[in-house]
Structure 1
Amino acid sequence: MRDIETIETVGVVGAGTMGSGIAQVSAVSGYDVVMRDIEPEFVENGLDTIDGSLSKFVDKEQITQDEADAARERIEGTTDLADLADCDIVIEAAVEKMDIKQDIFADLDEVTDDEAVLATNTSTLSITTIASATDRPEQVVGIHFMNPVQLMEGVEIVVGEKTDPGVVELAHDFSEALDKTTWESDDKPGFVSNRILMPWINEGVRAFDEGVATKEDIDRGMKLGTNVPMGPLELADHIGLDVCLDATQTLHEELGDRYKPAYLLKRKVDAGDLGKKTGQGFYEYD
């Protein structure tokens, strides 16, 4: 079984916001990275995102240009899942759909080395259920990065029913090698972060919809009243309202009506107003 000393190459499945972020922080920390997505344009978009992010770190003098160039050279993009065959750990960062994740893990189980650790970045879905698609559930673990990965310090380690304690330890060690700080959760719906965060966002949406206050005053009140950097509506825009809705619906199905999505959240998603990524959510973005 792998330990932190044997990790050299990191596989990332998904080149979107989370996947490209995980690829970037892994490469900056000295690991070789293979980042895979299903379409060439998705891979190119992910690599472009990494280039732009590294440039910002250079501009802010947080890393040197040589360090940025070296990190970028460590990242290989691909559409072929078989290119992950030699990875020591693979982190899946695909869409939050159980059937898609299980298909990916079944395929990873076939193409990767028997000792490779398979991790998922899921924010709400069961690690145990994802792991059941493999013949190595003891080597499947949740490594849930926070968004944006490049800036957020925290990583949530989620333990499935059959996850081996050594794999849990490796997940902590690997995350800490990326200069992150970890906490651990059992495989319960929403884990620690989203089990608490999503009701907070959802209630903020309800308060706005029911006329408790303007969206600005709701966000201002929560920022000044609880010392958080963003209020619930602003944060929802940054996460993506579709992502928030998916997470809240999953929690509602698992935990009942206390997690029922606010009507306005569903209406905004149906209208295509998903937040910062579409230029319109609860606020407008250039």
Structure 2
Amino acid sequence: MTETTGLPGHCGVVGGGRMGAGIAHALLLAGCHVTLVERDEDAAAAARERVARAVTGSAERGLVDDADEPMSRLDPVTGAAGLAGAGLVIEAVPEDLDLKLATLRAVEDAVGPETVIASNTSSISLDTLAEALARPERFLGLHFFNPVPASRLVEVVIAAATGQALRDRAVAWVAEIGKTAVVVNNAPGFASSRLGVLLGLEAIRMVESGVAAPADIDAAMTLGYGHPMGPLRLTDLVGLDVRLGIARYLERELGPRFAPPALLVRLVEQGHLGRKTGKGFYDWSDS
């Protein structure tokens, strides 16, 4: 692979949900042309609106002069063919192994041999995902945090086939979009999900056993430990279904300390997934 420096001028993001839209927003603010791939026209339009809200918010805070110029560099599309010519493509589809494998295969089929392919997975083994690719040496993890515009951290996750040069390029790219990279070797849950999920699960167990109300548990961590957000509010923002899926994966990989509490399972079964459904550990109906 020919090594270049600097964030590619054309980047792709596959998946325009909350995370994918946030990643697209970060790349736009860094000056990239961004192709955002969604499954159909309705989903692409919804993804564009998510990005537009984020870019407008950045303009209102004075981070960019106006929203029109960055948005002119966003191209929502419904097929991977639009990724041709991109120097970096980040997969940001839901945490489903089969879906991610199929997405990565489609991306590799659409892009050139020099394109770097990254996954935003929060827990799935990068080596397992790399099995989908004919050229795994150009693959690594770029795990952004929710909400992307406010978060300053990106985990650069190194798979077995990832070379040192690509590692260094990825760290530099993260700096170019105004965030800080932490480099983590491939392991279940990496660093952030492994620690964050464990804290969140224990907080849920405390609610389940009546130790304290969610707001008080969260206040103990924000006021007592300086966390910017409590573990239960964060669970609502991430999505209880997402947290449950990660917990089950980590339980399989690392043991029973990651077993999901019955309360988490029950809330997901009831459709209370957090902010996106209007109710989780908090009431989000007015937000």
* Smaller-chain TM-score bracket: over 0.9
Displacement of 1:7 in angstroms is 1.7
Counterpart in 2 of 1:90? 89
Q: Which secondary structure does the structure 2 equivalent of 1:152 belong to? A: coil
Displacement of 1:245 in angstroms is 0.7
Counterpart in 2 of 1:36? 37
Q: Which secondary structure does the structure 1 equivalent of 2:6 belong to? A: helix
Q: Which secondary structure does the structure 2 equivalent of 1:61 belong to? A: coil
Structure 2: stretches of 5+ with no match in the other structure: none
* Residues 227-279 of structure 1: per-residue CA shift (max 9 Å, x gap): 11221111111111111111111111100101101110111111000111111
* Residues 102-147 of structure 1: per-residue CA shift (max 9 Å, x gap): 1111122222101111000000001111111111111100000111
Report the RMSD for the aligned CA atoms in angstroms.
1.1
Displacement of 1:169 in angstroms is 1.2
Q: Which secondary structure does the structure 1 equivalent of 2:143 belong to? A: strand
1:176 equivalenced with 2:170 (yes/no): no
Q: Take 1:150 and 1:172, find their aligned partners in 2: how far apart are those partners?
A: 18
Q: TM-score, normalised by structure 2?
A: 0.96
* Residues 15-71 of structure 1: per-residue CA shift (max 9 Å, x gap): 111111111111111111100011111111111011112222222333222xx2111
1:210 equivalenced with 2:245 (yes/no): no
Q: Take 1:31 and 1:142, find their aligned partners in 2: how far apart are those partners?
A: 19
Counterpart in 2 of 1:74? 73
Q: Take 1:133 and 1:57, find their aligned partners in 2: how far apart are those partners?
A: 36
Displacement of 1:6 in angstroms is 7.0
Counterpart in 1 of 2:22? 21
Q: Take 1:137 and 1:221, find their aligned partners in 2: how far apart are those partners?
A: 43
Q: Take 2:231 and 2:243, find their aligned partners in 1: how far apart are those partners?
A: 11
Q: Which secondary structure does the structure 1 equivalent of 2:264 belong to? A: helix
1:139 equivalenced with 2:138 (yes/no): yes
Percent of counterpart pairs with the same letter? 36
Q: Take 1:147 and 1:131, find their aligned partners in 2: how far apart are those partners?
A: 24
Matched residue count: 284
Displacement of 1:213 in angstroms is 1.3
| 8 A Cα contact 2:7 2:173, kept in partner | no
1:162 equivalenced with 2:155 (yes/no): no
Q: TM-score, normalised by structure 1?
A: 0.96
Counterpart in 2 of 1:123? 122
Q: Take 1:179 and 1:211, find their aligned partners in 2: how far apart are those partners?
A: 41
Q: Take 2:259 and 2:178, find their aligned partners in 1: how far apart are those partners?
A: 36
Counterpart residue type for residue 187 of structure 1:
N
Segment of structure 1 superposing worse, 227-236 or 133-142: 227-236
Q: Take 1:4 and 1:263, find their aligned partners in 2: how far apart are those partners?
A: 48
| 8 A Cα contact 2:84 2:111, kept in partner | yes
| 8 A Cα contact 2:6 2:172, kept in partner | no
Q: Take 1:56 and 1:26, find their aligned partners in 2: how far apart are those partners?
A: 15
Counterpart in 2 of 1:51? 52
Counterpart in 1 of 2:282? 283
Structure 1: stretches of 5+ with no match in the other structure: none
| 8 A Cα contact 2:12 2:86, kept in partner | yes
Q: Take 1:12 and 1:274, find their aligned partners in 2: how far apart are those partners?
A: 24
Displacement of 1:214 in angstroms is 1.7
Q: Which secondary structure does the structure 2 equivalent of 1:182 belong to? A: strand
Q: Take 1:94 and 1:6, find their aligned partners in 2: how far apart are those partners?
A: 22
Within-5 A mapping of 1:239-278: 239-278=238-277
Counterpart residue type for residue 15 of structure 1:
G
Counterpart in 2 of 1:220? 219
Quick one: structure 1 residues 6 and 238, their matched pair in 2 at CA, closer, same or farther if it must change by over 3 Å?
closer
Counterpart residue type for residue 149 of structure 1:
V
Quick one: structure 1 residues 213 and 6, their matched pair in 2 at CA, closer, same or farther if it must change by over 3 Å?
closer
Structure 1 segments, 4+ long, off by >6 Å, are none
Q: Take 1:3 and 1:190, find their aligned partners in 2: how far apart are those partners?
A: 30
Q: Take 1:275 and 1:78, find their aligned partners in 2: how far apart are those partners?
A: 28
